[in-house]
Structure 1
Amino acid sequence: MLVQNTAANAQLDSSARYDAPCCDQDTRVEVIADIMDWIHDREAPTRILCMTGAAGSGKSALQQTVAERCRALKLLAASFFFSASDPSRNIVSKVIPTIAYQLGLLHPIIRSSIGHAAESDPLIFSRSLRTQAEVLIIAPLRNVSVDHLRGIPSVIFVDGLDECIDEDHQTELLHALKVITEDGPSYFRLFIASRPEWAIRAALEENGLLHHAASHIRLSDDYDASDDIRRSLWKSLREIGARSSDPRARVQSWPPFEGIESLVGLASGQYIFAKTVIRYVSERRSSPVERLKTVLSWTVDGGGVAKPLAILDLLYINVLSAAQAAYEVASPALPGHFLELVRFYSYEAQHPGEPHQEATLAKARGLRMVEQLYDIQEGTYDAVFSDIRSLLTVRPLGENLYVHIYHKSLSDFFEKESRSQGLYTPIHRVWAWMAPRMLRRILSSSDTAVEQAIVYASSHVQLNWDDFEEATFLYSAVRAVVYSLVWQSEPEYTAVTEAWVQFTEGGGWNRMDKCLSSAPNTAWNSESVLDRICLLWAGPYVLPNFPVVLDTLREKGMLPLAVDLAAKKFHEKWQGRFAGVVGNAD
């Protein structure tokens, strides 16, 4: 009975895991030492260690490496390695029986006690996980004398909790595992690794299940893996070069220092990037020199045809697809727009330093203000990010919250249809979706904000950011609308066109003109926020595209007369107004 309910593939030495990732020699030395110190410390205040980290940060490799080291030291009691793609180990029902089975192998008396418990209750495997833990693990161990338990291996490993397909059952499993450490032998240790998804995050938060019971390693935040990644890349590529038939790969100058440094930077501390590059370059059917060139050119400027990061893309696709399904089930405020929201938020974090991007305005205000300005229900970002915290997260700074993308290649993934495939959501599609709500937001801006903005702009006074979000938002909104019109496919024009009609009928053009026309022509050298917004409006991003927008809509018969007349009128006015700065904006 016990064997039938055990997941053989989930154990450390399973043949299904013959190529399990592990840490390269002389890498992750610091974090491994910290984990081993905790394992050896019988006086440690906690019996549970939780390690969370971004997708591809090396959690499973660390689990594998530490588990193998514990096995060599006769400390490994049991292990369970989840895998979302393996039906035998992506469910929690196999976990407790699998751990019990391995504990039974440690000593004949333990095996007999566990076997008897399973035979005494044939339905034990259909009971709650806590009951299974109490009957199959805790009670049998209590029946064994202290003398027999002395020297028994004591460390249990659970890897990839986030790959369990039922999130609610993840929490149930954490309850059961906690019971084992509380009611089992006092020297037992439990090491859990997971992406920082909802179940483990909630358990570790204040007042959470494991808040006081577990130590916490934030792998992506607490340890800088750059040196280790550099060492792994250098060592592995040198070995690949030595085996290659290409003489260029066997010279001392290969791989080039600049190439290694470029890869280290692109890796952003995530091992999966480096490991994927190494696998790609090691393909024996072609030259490692040429394949490394492909990786560097492809990742930097997108010019390559090959897909050296297919494994990483698959990881992103799987994480995002699962999160999208969970988001829709949760009945969100904006159903059917998960990808647009992810793309929007990630875009805000993607260009934090370019003054002509909406991201500058967004990041200066923080996510809460972004949601207010873009007419998105407060807290929507939290629902969107709930199941993708392994890819990007929200970090506080002062009173604001900002988006942080763990891995740089995620931005490239969003930008390239060849990588994101069915999840591809170009930024202009986001703007098309945003356009109607942004135009409505402009119409609802208070007259007071516009009037005060005019006074401040006319007198060259620096705008107070907190007081004039609505006025400064005008540039972002209109520019985004123009983007959406210029690049959209025909089916997506309709909603935007209708929004323009409402905008025209509601006096939106006059409202926008009030602000834009108030700035002096010295905008290029001005420190006024509104001045700079006016300049950017006049630059190569918006105003020159207006005739293209109008012509396209006319050709499609989708430009209502009232909108056409208003657009031409204000375009001519603004073109003359900003004629002196359009050429300088480049």
Structure 2
Amino acid sequence: MSFFSDAKGFTINDGAFNLVQGNQFNNTYNLADPNDVFKLVATNAAANGLYNSEQRFPLPNCHPDTRTEILQECNQWVLAKSASERVYWIHGPAGVGKSAIMQNMSERHARQSPELPHPRLAASFFFSRNDVTRDKLDPFVATVVYQFLKCEPLRAALGESIFEAVRADPHIFRTTFENQVQKLILEPCTKVDPKEWDLLPNLVAIDGLDECILVPSQERLITIIRKAIPKCPLIFLVASRPEPRIRRAFEHEGFTSFLGRLPVGKSDESTRDITIYFHERFGQLQDTHPELRPLDVSWPGEEKIRELVRRAGGQFIFAVTVMKYLESDDSLPSERLKAILSTKVEDSTESPYADLDLLYRQILSTCPVVNREKSSMILCLLATPHFHPPRLDGQGKVTDRFIFVRQNGSWRSSGMIEALLNLKRGEVETLLFRLHSVIEVPSDAYGKNVRIVHASFTEYISDPNRSGDYHVKKLEKLDYLDLIARALLRIISGHSRNYRSYLSSSATRPPPYNSPTLMNTRYSIINVLHICLKLDTPSDELLKALNQFDPYLFGTWVMNSGLYRSSYLQRWREFIKWAESFEPRGSQTFLGKIESFMDGFCIASPPKSTTLQHLDCVRAYLEHVLYATNPVHLKWHELLQSLYNVVIEVNLRVLLLPADSRQSPQLRDWVLLTVTRKDAENVDGLLGSLANCSSEENLIQDIRDDTYESVHTLDLVKQNNLYSLRKLVVQRQKEIGVTPFPCTPPSTAQMGSEEMASNLPTVNQEANPINEDDNLVNEGTELLEMEARSVGNAGFHSIATAVANPNPKVHIHRVLMVGIWVLPILLALMLYYNTPSLYG
């Protein structure tokens, strides 16, 4: 049983589409099955962007008996005006309640009612700059199509066309958004009879377009909608702030005939609605809070409510935040209300949200000074968008999705924040306890995001002119990646004790497959190398963290990571070069560990879990991926697998340990072999010289049969290297207790004696002694050897060596070979000494 499955990428075989997402989610889709196509669409959709997403809970909505006029106008547009005004843009400043209106409209038109016999909502998408899964345009089309397929009437009408489009291009969600819209939305919709659309949902609700963090994408989506409208039966309800680029995009002349607008802001209606809200919420607070029960039912009084309404200035977010702040359990509501009302806005302030800013300052001031630094670190992280550092997947393709975090947690969950900032478990909840009116902290440490309730608070703390001492600066991308790398290294280091304890008993098994500790550690190991390589100037803290890095733990986890482990191991060398460039700054301990590891280590497998033949192939695999200078040539482990007739197990269980671990009594019954740099480089040299043999199959057959058919008869270097490689295979066979292949010295019909082979530069053996009778020959060939070395001709050197070691069994081919090379040189020397005039 493996520690993990690490396959990642896409393959198609006979209509089956293999999607391997992230670190453990491996799904094979048979695209002939519509349900599997639906699963593929769902994989690319952003579940948090749906109107009924649990991640957005508590969902914003209009308070009862408020926003009646605006909601009535929106409903009239959906039911009547949309025939001409195909796009309706709700716009207004921050905090006026646009998302609540969009939530109300989505919920109302997603269900049947007496006034709505047929639901009209086809899809919704709620952008948020505080949620990495829905802060960009990337998942928009997939999320819309996912909802089409979830709706039974739309699935019946559009499903087959969508399925055909996905089957035709399983990577369609990696194509341009324009192509996705064309193939997955426009073409399926236009194939439906226009009369059928009278009974089909056709409303697409898009909220918070201004919170799509890539501003050009905001205009791009509006442009796509504008171009689609003339031939598309869908209608679009869009809400956003009136940002300049969004406003200009909607002012395009192409929108003139089919765009409706609805401004939302300070008005008599908003003033009335906020007053209603305050009255009802103060009444609820008085009923539930012990301190307020003895007070008069009119508390806090009309005058104070009017002052709060005035300060709200049409911003519902002000009213909502005030009431959340007053509901805190650690202070008296009456005292907090008094503090809010006693603080006045300075006349000189230029902020358009002066009263809201004042409220935010009051809330932040309640945090204990002693915790201010840590709280600011958390706020800084919450204000920083999560960057997707692209990494290589198992097939060498670049992916920017960290699927483990997306599926099993979040980069802004309390557990992840504690890991990133090196805080104690539970400390995030404690530090943010007095900020619950502006920050939501879920109880699940690795579930939902810790979330800033409203974008206006993010804007406040990010603007030094508005927040002053409470300003937090967003992290730059490289600083953020440095922070991630440090956190991942701490996670890896923290798991070292579990790795070592694995040796305590031969019966020990790895942690549970889906345990959070195991998943966190594995995720960290797979990603830390790539993230570090993105940093040209790592922080001193990161370099210190590297000194805790355990290369044996890293190698063990990667080797147990499934099919594509080589992609990670081959980046190992890049990682070493990267660390060497910062050696003077404190990474010497790390480099010492790495050098020791690369010089040699043990590989071990638990008793009865594998054979020595399998483990020898694993050793050869490590020798190849860690030391081979030319990964394209013949692979050592593939050669051994063919010779042994075994295959390296995908579900491999193997430990990488220091070279001296063979002496450990805990490993007495384990299967162990040693990997050394010296042996690996020797193998790499031999295989590199044999890379251009007639075929790998012939080479393997030669090793097995003790022949030389795969190399040219006159190529003495390759013949010697083939002989040396065979000797190495035989040596490995003896080491693991396998009957060795025959390995006789080169015969008369081939290349010469064993002694001759031992003198070749590619074999690390001492030269054989030379007889006194051979002295004359040695003297006669010394000049030839010097000449061969000077021109770097390995073949010439081999001939010179062969002449220096005569053998009565030498085949006629060798004699001819020597003659071909030696005679021209002898003639040249004779001419040189006898006719000097020719040479000046």
Aligned to 1:231, which of 265, 269, 276? 276
Listed one character per residue, the Cα deviations across residues 366-422 of structure 1 (whole Å, up to 9, x for unaligned) are: xxxxxxxxxxxxxxxxxxxxxxxx99xxxxxxxxxxxxxxx9x99x99466244456
Q: CA, structure 1 residues 76+164, in 2 after alignment: closer, same or farther (shift >3 Å)?
A: same
- Inter-partner Cα distance in structure 2 for 1:55 and 1:219: 10
Offset at 1:220?
1.9
Deviations 1:415-461 (A, max 9, x none): 662444569xxxxxxxxxxxxxxxxxxxxxxxxxxxxxxxxxxxxxx
Q: Secondary structure at the match of 1:290?
A: helix
Bigger shift: residues 105-114 or 16-25: 105-114
Taking only the aligned residue pairs, the percentage that are identical comes to 30
AA aligned to 2:363 is: K
Provide the C-alpha distance between the structure 2 equivalents of 1:413 and 1:232, rounded to a whole number of angstroms.
32
Provide the C-alpha distance between the structure 2 equivalents of 1:189 and 1:165, rounded to a whole number of angstroms. Answer: 24
Q: Give 1:11 shift.
A: 0.5
- Aligned counterparts of 2:228 and 2:136: Cα–Cα separation in 1: 19
Q: Is the Cα contact below 8 Å between 1:48 and 1:189 reproduced in 2?
A: yes
DSSP 3-state at the match of 1:216: strand
Give deviations 1:302-340, integer Å, cap 9, x for gaps: 7998416999xx9xx99xx99xxxxxxxxxxxxxxxxxx
| Distance of aligned partners of 1:267 and 1:287 in 2 relative to their CA distance in 1, 3 Å threshold | same
The answer to whether residue 271 in structure 2 is matched with residue 220 in structure 1 is no
Task: Kindly indicate whether the alpha-carbon contact (under 8 Å) linking 1:297 and 1:303 is maintained by their aligned counterparts in 2.
Answer: no
Name which of 280, 305, 321 aligns with 1:260. Answer: 305
The partner residue of 2:248 within 198, 202, 219 is 202
- CA distance in structure 2 between the partners assigned to 1:229 and 1:249 by the alignment: 26
State the distance in 2 between where 1:266 and 1:169 align: 35
Match of 1:307 among 337, 341, 363: 363
Map 1:325-364 → 2, pairs under 5 A: none
Q: Find the counterpart in structure 2 of residue 128 from structure 1.
A: 176
**Counterpart code for 1:192:** V
Shift of 1:164: 0.7
CA contact (8 A) 2:205 2:238 kept: yes
CA distance 1:222–1:266, change in 2 (3 Å): closer
Structure 2 partner of 1:417: 468
Q: CA–CA distance in 2 between the matches of 1:285 and 1:224?
A: 35
Indicate the residue corresponding to 1:100 in structure 2: 145
Aligned to 1:119: 167
Q: Does 1:143 align with 2:185?
A: no
Q: How far apart are residue 170 of structure 1 and its match? A: 1.2
The equivalent position to 1:191 in structure 2, one of 230, 234, 237, is: 237
Tell me the distance in 2 between the aligned counterparts of 1:163 and 1:305: 24
Q: Name the aligned partner's letter for residue 202 of structure 1.
A: R
Residues of 1 paired with 2:121 and 2:359: CA distance?
48
User: With CA pairs under 8 Å and 6+ residues apart, which has the higher RCO, 1 or 2?
Assistant: 1
Cα 1:420–1:227 shift into 2, 3 Å: farther
* Structure exhibiting the larger radius of gyration computed from Cα positions: 2
Range 300-309 or range 124-133, more displaced:
300-309
Contact 1:157–1:190 (CA under 8 A) maintained in structure 2: yes
Residues 310 and 199 (structure 1), Cα distance of their counterparts in 2 relative to 1, 3 Å cut: farther
Task: Note if contact 2:45-2:143 (Cα within 8 Å) is conserved in structure 1.
Answer: yes
- Verify the 8 A CA contact 1:175 1:209 in the aligned structure 2: no
Q: How far apart, CA to CA, are the structure 2 residues paired with 1:136 and 1:256?
A: 57
Amino acid at match of 2:125: F
Q: Give the secondary structure class of the aligned counterpart of 1:93.
A: coil
For 1:155, which of 203, 225, 239 is the aligned residue?
A: 203
**1:46: which partner in 2?**
85
Could you tell me how far 1:286 is from its partner in structure 2? 3.0
Alignment partner, residue 427 of structure 2: none
Q: Match of 1:220, SS?
A: coil
1:416 and 1:70 map into 2 onto residues whose CA distance is 40
3-state SS in 1 of match to 2:255:
coil
Aligned residues: 332
Paired residue type of 1:417:
G
Encode CA deviations 1:469-528: one digit per residue, 9 max, x unaligned. xxxxxxxxxxxxxxxxxxxxxxxxxxxxxxxxxxxxxxxxxxxxxxxxxxxxxxxxxxxx
* Matched position secondary structure for 2:206: strand
Does the 8 Å CA contact 1:248/1:254 hold for their aligned counterparts?
A: no
For 2:623, the equivalent position in structure 1 comes to none
The answer (yes or no) to whether the contact 1:31–1:223 under 8 Å persists in 2 is no
Relative to structure 1, is the Cα distance of residues 165 and 179 closer, same or farther in structure 2, using a 3 angstrom cutoff?
same
Q: Which amino acid aligns with 1:218?
A: P
Whether the 8 Å contact between 2:222 and 2:250 is mirrored in structure 1 is no
Q: Which residue of 2 aligns with 1:171?
A: 219
Counterpart code for 1:196: P
Q: CA deviation at 1:85?
A: 1.6
Match of 1:22 among 61, 79, 85: 61
How far apart are the structure 2 equivalents of 1:296 and 1:227?
Answer: 20
- Aligned partner of 2:288 among 209, 223, 243: 243
Query: Residues 76, 305 of structure 1: CA spacing in aligned structure 2 closer, same or farther, 3 A cutoff?
Result: closer
Q: Cα offset for 1:143?
A: 2.8
Which of 69, 75, 84 is residue 129 of structure 2 equivalent to?
A: 84
How far did residue 146 of structure 1 move? 4.8
Q: Encode CA deviations 1:34-60: one digit per residue, 9 max, x unaligned.
A: 111111115643110011111111111
1:4 corresponds in structure 2 to 43
Cα distance in 2, alignment partners of residues 308 and 242 from structure 1 = 27
What secondary structure does 2:88 align onto? strand
Unmatched segments (≥5 aa) in structure 2: 1-39, 113-118, 347-357, 368-375, 385-454, 475-840
Instruction: Find the partner of 1:56 among 71, 83, 95.
Output: 95
Matching residue's letter, 1:199: R
Q: Does 1:293 align with 2:338?
A: yes
* Aligned AA (2:324): R
Asked if 1 retains the 8 angstrom alpha-carbon contact of 2:86 and 2:258, the reply is yes
Residue 222 of structure 1, CA deviation: 6.7
Q: 1:287 to 1:43 in 2, by over 3 A?
A: closer
What is the one-letter code of the residue matched to 1:182? P
Q: Distance in 1 between matches of 2:69 and 2:473?
A: 40
Taking the TM superposition and a 5 Å limit, the aligned residue runs for 1:471-490 are none
Conserved 8 A contact 1:130-1:179: no
1-side partners of 2:139 and 2:240: how far apart?
A: 18
Higher percent of residues as helix: 1
| CA distance, structure 1, for counterparts of residue 53 and residue 467 of structure 2 | 37
Rounded to whole Å, the distance in 2 between the matches of 1:154 and 1:4 is: 23
8 Å CA contact 2:266, 2:313 repeated in 1: no
Deviations 1:109-160 (A, max 9, x none): 2223212212212232233222211110111123334565441112110001
- Which amino acid is 2:174 matched to? S
Query: What's the offset of the Cα at 1:71?
Result: 1.5
| 1:241 to partner: Cα distance | 0.9
Q: Which amino acid aligns with 2:137?
A: V
Structure 2 distance, partners of 1:9, 1:305, is 30
Instruction: Tell whether the 8 Å contact from 1:51 to 1:219 is kept in structure 2 after alignment.
Output: yes
- CA change 1:201–1:211 in 2 (3 A) is farther
Give the distance between the partners of 1:89 and 1:415, measured in 2 at CA: 27
Write the distance in 2 (CA, Å) between the matches of 1:50 and 1:98: 21
C-alpha distance after superposition, 1:507-566 (max 9, x if no partner): xxxxxxxxxxxxxxxxxxxxxxxxxxxxxxxxxxxxxxxxxxxxxxxxxxxxxxxxxxxx
d(CA) in 1 for partners of 2:280 and 2:206? 30
SS at match of 1:85: coil
Distance verdict in 2 for CA 1:142–1:212, change over 3 Å: closer
Residues 244-264 of structure 1: per-residue CA shift (max 9 Å, x gap): 101456521212211111111
- Give the 5 Å matches for 1:554-573: none
- The structural deviation recorded for 1:298 is 3.4
Preserved CA contact (<8 Å) 2:106 2:121: yes
